[in-house]
Amino acid sequence: MKVVRVLVLVVGFCCAAVPLAWMALSSIKDRADTIHAHPKVLPVPGTPAGDDSIAFAPTLSSWAELAEVHAGAQASFWSHLGNSVIIGILSTLCSVALGTACAYGFSRFRVPGASDWLFFVLSTRFMPPLAVVVPVLLMYRELDLQGTHLGLVLLYTVFNLSLSVWLMKGFLDEIPRAFEEAALVDGYTRMQAFVRVVLPEARTGMAVTAVFCLISAWNEYGFAMTLNSSDAVTVPAYFAGLAGNIEGMPWPQVAAGALVFVAPIVVFTVLVRRHLLRGMTFGTIKQ
Amino acid sequence: MTERALELAGVSKRFGSVEALVGVDLALDAGEFLVVLGPTGAGKTTLLRTIAGLEVPDAGNVRLFGRDAELIAPAQRDVALVFQNFSLYPSSTVRENLAFPLRAPSRRLSAAEIDERVQWAARLLHVERLLDRPAKKLSGGEMQRVAIGRAIVRKPKLFLMDEPLNNLDAKLREELRVELRELARELRTPVVWVTHDQAEALTMADRVALFVAGRVVQTGTPEAVYARPVSPLAARLLGTPPMNVIAVRRVDGAWTTDAGHALARAASVAPERATLGIRPEHVRLEGGAAEAVVLVVEDWGPERVLLARLGTLELHVLAPRDCALRAGDRFRPALDERRIVLWDPAPR
């Protein structure tokens, strides 16, 4: 039994780790080595170029080139990462804040037709988002939101709102009403009770919700690609844009950039993993 | 004339099809200890929540210290509510829990004042050594003390207690009952204490209000309510073993059961039919006209409780400890006529 468990874990770990390891290897290769007919897996300093063995000469040049502007792009990787950070963080903050406020209302007050409203909120997830890309594009053109940070922040906030409302409602329902009622009788206003009593108790839920919102905003590709040509291009769209490059895809730089790009999500998830585990069973099973 | 601490007039509240409060009239004098006694689900909690302002009554009027409470927000009512199922914020320490009501922005107390009050409350409730312990690490009894501490710490004008001793073991209940009664007297603050435990009602109350299905059935001193319940319903709420309630007819100047057993003399002006109530301790073991059979003898320590059958009816009798009657024995129960309570006959 224990052997099976270890085996499953090892296989699972490899499935998750091999692509990352391959990216890490690619990021220290020369471009020619990344598309070499023989897979190169062993970094050996001093290996001659064009060698047919599995060895390759490691180089850090691709990491340095992350700061350079490639042919076919208008800014360096770092400035695109900046776009991703701004858009990801702002939209996550907005989604979690609005979702918490909205869920609190549904959780604590008698809203006429509450279940219908909640279903409507959820139903905005039923359609694949890309189905509305053209109308959104037309609207954004009209409103001059095309190619702006604000445009993507708004869009991602709206997409994540349904998830955020539903998750937060699950969490807030778990916090006893008596917590706030005691505060109300003790001399706090409803708003003060919310800030002093409910929010601290809801931290777990907000952290979990934030992870999910951040991941989906961070990785979004379709809209980032369509609504943007220059100013607010996020990393996924930037990488895709390099594909049509006259010099060919700069694989080592893409690998290095992708590693940098996944790092914040990994760090964030590790930071809140304690909440995440609890939150998965706690927010979702109940619904 | 002193001002009433609390006055409820015709207060009604319904949740969907459930009538939680039905035209409740209730008054509380300054410094008075009122126990609202009623079975689970009678609407007692709703009553307290309405007084605290957490529920808005559908009809009727709540007055707090002479002011119409309708327009006073819960935070401004200056009442303290000890909840039945919530006691403390689990992730905070005892000290933080006690200080929480004092830290309300509207109160504007200095840190030193807050500290002083917390110490005072902790001393009163004997929880000083627990101050820095997280609330979730307290025992049930400690938690309940701290919950009550949360209520007294801000010296409110009125205490509302919702079965505060509910989840405690019997010994601790008894202890806290005495302590809290003393405390209320010391603080001279009026209390509305809700419970389904009649021992609390009898031992603590200045006045008892019997509360059933959203209605106040009877109010009065514990002695008065115990001695002269206004209806069989009120009789059943108070007293263990329960009051004997017997349907009787007046036959030849005597109250007689349906089966024809004469129980006690009836005044000549009395009606033809009545419902007769008699406490188990007011039934003597001999001297009666009719014969009864002992069914069960329960040993209650200081005394024994007999369940006997007289014709078709069952009778509870409180007997002294040295009573020699055993199950199957026969005796002639006699009712103490001065203690008999008569009500209108039950409709048939």
Dump pLDDT digits (tens) for B75-97: 889 899 988 776 688 888 999 99
Whether residue A127 lies within 8 A of chain B, CB to CB, comes out as no
Confidence (pLDDT) at B14: 92
From A279's Cα to the closest Cα of chain B, the distance in A is 18
CA distance B150 to B159: 11
Over range B57-61, report the average pLDDT: 92
**Phi, psi for B275 (deg, rounded to 5):** -110, 130
Confidence (pLDDT) at A36: 83
Q: Are residues B274 and B133 in the same domain?
A: no
pLDDT, tens digit, 9 for 90 and up, residues B5-20 = 899 999 999 998 889 9
Confidence (pLDDT) at B9: 92
From A177's Cα to the closest Cα of chain B, the distance in A is 9
CB atoms within 10 A of CB B95: 20
Confidence (pLDDT) at A279: 56
- Chain A residue nearest residue B86, CA to CA: A178
Whether A183 and B100 lie within 8 Å, measured CB to CB: yes
Name, in order, each residue with C-beta under 8 angstroms of A233's C-beta and a sequence gap of 6 or more.
A74, A75, A80, A83, A224, A241
Q: Are residues B223 and B271 in the same domain?
A: no
Residue with tokens 């549904």: A106
Confidence (pLDDT) at A287: 31
Query: Does the pLDDT value for residue B3 go beyond 90?
Result: no
Write down the domain spans for chain A: 2-59, 77-284
Residues of B in contact with A192 (CB under 8 A): 104-105
Identify the H or E element spanning A156. helix A149-174
Q: Are residues B229 and B266 in the same domain?
A: no
- Residues 92-131, chain B: which have Cβ within 8 Å of A? 100-101, 104-107
Query: Does the pLDDT value for residue A285 go beyond 50?
Result: no
Q: Are residues B255 and B164 in the same domain?
A: no
Whether A182 and B83 lie within 8 Å, measured CB to CB: yes
User: Tokens representing A12?
Assistant: 């699972």
Whether B150 and A192 lie within 8 Å, measured CB to CB: no
Whether A188 and B104 lie within 8 Å, measured CB to CB: yes
Confidence (pLDDT) at B348: 62
From A192's Cα to the closest Cα of chain B, the distance in A is 8
Query: What percent of chain B has a predicted confidence (pLDDT) above 90?
Result: 39
Confidence (pLDDT) at A22: 92
Whether A187 and B83 lie within 8 Å, measured CB to CB: no
pLDDT, tens digit, 9 for 90 and up, residues B140-190 = 888 888 888 898 898 899 999 998 888 778 888 888 888 888 888 888 899
- Pairing between β-strand B215-220 and β-strand B67-68 as defined by DSSP bridges: unpaired
Query: Per the domain annotation, does B180 fall within a domain?
Result: yes
Q: Are residues B197 and B316 in the same domain?
A: no
From A149's Cα to the closest Cα of chain B, the distance in A is 39
Q: Are residues B336 and B273 in the same domain?
A: yes
CA distance B217 to B43: 13
Residues of A in contact with B53 (CB under 8 A): 184-185
pLDDT, tens digit, 9 for 90 and up, residues B271-281 = 888 999 999 99
Confidence (pLDDT) at B27: 92
Lowest average pLDDT, out of A114-128, B255-269, B317-331, goes to B255-269
- Pairing between β-strand B33-37 and β-strand B191-195 as defined by DSSP bridges: parallel
Residue A286 binned pLDDT confidence (cut-offs 50, 70, 90): very low
Whether B80 and A187 lie within 8 Å, measured CB to CB: no
From B31's Cα to the closest Cα of chain A, the distance in A is 20
User: Tokens representing B17?
Assistant: 């099809």
Residues of B in contact with A188 (CB under 8 A): 75, 104-106
- Chain A residue nearest residue B159, CA to CA: A185
The residue among B204, B237, B270 that closes a domain is B237
Confidence (pLDDT) at B106: 83
Options 3.40.50.360, 3.20.20.80, 2.160.10.10, 1.10.3720.10; CATH of A77-284: 1.10.3720.10
Confidence (pLDDT) at A129: 82
Whether residue A176 lies within 8 A of chain B, CB to CB, comes out as yes
Q: Are residues B266 and B334 in the same domain?
A: yes
Q: Which domain holds residue B253?
A: 244-343
Confidence (pLDDT) at A230: 74
From B81's Cα to the closest Cα of chain A, the distance in A is 7
Residues of B in contact with A184 (CB under 8 A): 53-54, 74-75
Q: Identify from A175, A186, A190 which residue to disrupt to test chain B contact, counting B C-beta atoms within 10 A and taking the largest count.
A: A186
CB atoms within 10 A of CB A280: 11
Confidence (pLDDT) at B1: 47
Helix (H, G, I), strand (E, B) or coil at B276: strand
Q: What is the dihedral of CA B87, B92, B94, B98, to 10 degrees?
A: -70
Q: Are residues B195 and B256 in the same domain?
A: no
Instruction: Please determine, for the modelled complex, whether the ipTM score is greater than 0.90.
Output: no
Average pLDDT over all residues of chain A: 87
A51: which strand partners? none
Q: Are residues B84 and B104 in the same domain?
A: yes
- Chain A residue nearest residue B156, CA to CA: A186
Query: Per the domain annotation, does B348 fall within a domain?
Result: no
The domain tally of chain B equals 2
Residues of B in contact with A178 (CB under 8 A): 83, 85-86
Residue A217 binned pLDDT confidence (cut-offs 50, 70, 90): very high
Query: Does the pLDDT value for residue A283 go beyond 60?
Result: no
Whether residue A179 lies within 8 A of chain B, CB to CB, comes out as yes
More confident residue, B346 or A89: A89
Q: Are residues B220 and B263 in the same domain?
A: no
Query: Does the pLDDT value for residue A51 go beyond 80?
Result: no
pLDDT, tens digit, 9 for 90 and up, residues B250-270 = 888 888 888 888 888 888 777
Confidence (pLDDT) at A5: 94
Give the CATH number, domain containing residue B256. Answer: 2.40.50.140
Confidence (pLDDT) at A125: 84
Q: Are residues B260 and B329 in the same domain?
A: yes
Query: Does the pLDDT value for residue A157 go beyond 80?
Result: yes
Query: Per the domain annotation, does B173 fall within a domain?
Result: yes
User: Tokens representing A215?
Assistant: 């991941």
Confidence (pLDDT) at B144: 85
Whether residue B85 lies within 8 A of chain A, CB to CB, comes out as yes
pLDDT, tens digit, 9 for 90 and up, residues B92-135 = 899 999 999 998 888 888 999 999 999 998 988 888 899 999 88
Whether B54 and A185 lie within 8 Å, measured CB to CB: yes
Residues of A in contact with B107 (CB under 8 A): 187
Whether residue A203 lies within 8 A of chain B, CB to CB, comes out as no
Whether residue A188 lies within 8 A of chain B, CB to CB, comes out as yes
From the list B53, B85, B101, the residue facing A186 with the nearest CB is B101
**Phi, psi for B136 (deg, rounded to 5):** -75, -10
From B320's Cα to the closest Cα of chain A, the distance in A is 47
pLDDT, tens digit, 9 for 90 and up, residues A68-77 = 887 777 788 9
Whether residue A195 lies within 8 A of chain B, CB to CB, comes out as no
What does the DSSP assignment read for B177-206? HHHHHHHHHHHT--EEEEES-HHHHHHH-S
Average pLDDT over all residues of chain B: 88
User: Tokens representing A15?
Assistant: 């499935």
pLDDT, tens digit, 9 for 90 and up, residues B201-236 = 888 999 999 999 999 999 999 999 999 999 998 998
The residue among B237, B270, B285 that closes a domain is B237
User: Tokens representing B198?
Assistant: 């009649």
pLDDT, tens digit, 9 for 90 and up, residues A27-46 = 998 888 888 888 888 888 88
Q: Are residues B192 and B212 in the same domain?
A: yes
Whether B54 and A181 lie within 8 Å, measured CB to CB: yes
Whether A185 and B85 lie within 8 Å, measured CB to CB: no
pLDDT, tens digit, 9 for 90 and up, residues B25-44 = 999 998 899 999 999 888 99
Query: Does the pLDDT value for residue A237 go beyond 70?
Result: yes
Query: Per the domain annotation, does B167 fall within a domain?
Result: yes
Let me know: does B34 contact B193? Beta carbons within 8 Å. Answer: yes
Residues of A in contact with B83 (CB under 8 A): 178, 181-182
Whether A185 and B53 lie within 8 Å, measured CB to CB: yes
CA distance A235 to B58: 59
Q: Identify from A185, A194, A278 which residue to disrupt to test chain B contact, counting B C-beta atoms within 10 A and taking the largest count.
A: A185
DSSP code for B134: B
